[in-house]
């Protein structure tokens, strides 16, 4: 189906695609995978949505549906998966072509500027939060505090976790404090207490070591990004012994997206956004690269 884009979030993955951190899947692809818009036209056999209906489009654009990963509910690991803004043209545009099976029906009371950041930053943060295996009332460390982390923090706090934030941005530390973090510090600074779980959002491999070292026995570190710089050598006793776990998070399933949209609405999650007109997309990406966006960037198309 053809979707008229109203708004599109500015995600760090867009930056990785634009700067060549990720391998080229399609030359000159249009970035953007946090799309909010309205259905303009339906393709042959499409009928899940009506013309004019408001929809959301996320990173996962299609899967094969028949491989062993898809059959067991892990479609995010499908070897034939394709992604919005990497394999297919995305939302830094006035319109986008979308497989209706991978679009989301958005609540009427969820404004565009709140819906867009949820469609990747929110979804991948939610999957990372599940992967981090935070115990009830546990201590969760967040390394990096941008579009994804500031949404994830709100969910974790609402669910009873204590959140400890380490980030290099002073503005992000201010936002983290305002959202209820129990502690905020510099990017590699050690929290004042051992952590039960942690999520690394920053694409900085050198932060894996301090994040692992901050974990208590049995703790889990989930790496949320699609790209990470080189990880320095680990010291087994300091970083992994005593059943600490290090795991990655890869894309998302459609179920993750449906769960996150409902959960964010129920918990009253509010995304802090910085809007840009579509013609200033390059500026938005530059601001993201240089930590000049607090919360999430947002391209306003119409």
Helix, coil or strand: residue 179: coil
Summarize pLDDT for 91-131 with one digit per residue, the tens. Answer: 999 999 999 999 999 999 999 999 999 999 999 999 999 99
Summarize pLDDT for 204-254 with one digit per residue, the tens. Answer: 999 999 999 999 999 999 999 999 999 999 999 999 999 999 999 999 999
Helix axis angle, 254-267 to 147-158, nearest 10°: 60
Tokens of 138: 């546990």
CATH among 3.40.50.12160, 3.40.50.300, 3.40.50.720, 3.90.420.10 for 122-248: 3.40.50.720
Model-level pTM greater than 0.85? yes
For residue 201, the model assigns a pLDDT of: 98
The architecture in CATH of the region 2-119+251-300 reads Alpha-Beta Complex (3.90)
Phi and psi at 6, nearest 5°, equal -95, -40
Helix axis angle, 281-289 to 12-19, nearest 10°: 100
Residue with tokens 């404004």: 111
Between β-strands 215-223 and 245-248, what pairing exists: parallel, antiparallel or unpaired? parallel
| Domain chopping of the chain, boundaries | 2-119+251-300, 122-248
């Amino acid at each position: 189906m053809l979707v008229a884009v109203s708004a599109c979030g500015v995600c760090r993955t867009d930056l990785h695609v634009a700067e060549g951190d990720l391998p080229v899947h399609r030359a000159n692809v249009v970035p953007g995978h946090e799309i909010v818009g309205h259905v303009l036209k339906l393709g042959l056999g499409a009928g899940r949505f009506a013309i004019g209906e408001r929809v959301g489009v996320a990173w996962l654009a299609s899967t094969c549906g028949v491989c062993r990963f898809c059959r067991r509910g892990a479609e995010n690991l499908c070897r034939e998966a394709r992604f919005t803004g990497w394999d297919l043209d995305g939302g830094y545009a006035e319109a986008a072509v979308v497989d209706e099976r991978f679009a989301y029906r958005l609540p009427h009371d969820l404004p565009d500027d709140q819906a867009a950041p949820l469609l990747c930053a929110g979804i991948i943060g939610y999957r990372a939060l599940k992967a981090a295996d935070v115990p009830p009332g546990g201590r969760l460390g967040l390394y990096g505090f941008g579009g994804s982390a500031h949404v994830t923090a709100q969910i974790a706090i609402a669910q009873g976790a204590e959140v400890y934030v380490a980030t290099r941005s002073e503005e992000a530390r201010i936002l983290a404090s305002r959202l209820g973090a129990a502690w905020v510090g510099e990017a590699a600074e050690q929290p004042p207490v051992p952590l039960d779980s942690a999520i690394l959002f920053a694409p900085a491999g050198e932060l894996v070591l301090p994040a692992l070292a901050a974990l208590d026995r049995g703790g889990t570190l989930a790496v949320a990004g699609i790209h990470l710089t080189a990880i320095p050598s680990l010291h087994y006793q300091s970083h992994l012994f005593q059943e600490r776990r290090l795991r990655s998070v890869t894309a998302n399933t459609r179920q993750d997206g449906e769960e996150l949209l409902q959960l964010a609405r129920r918990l009253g999650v509010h995304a802090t956004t910085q809007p840009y007109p579509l013609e200033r997309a390059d500026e938005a990406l530059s601001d993201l690269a240089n930590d000049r966006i607090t919360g999430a960037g947002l391209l306003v198309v119409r």
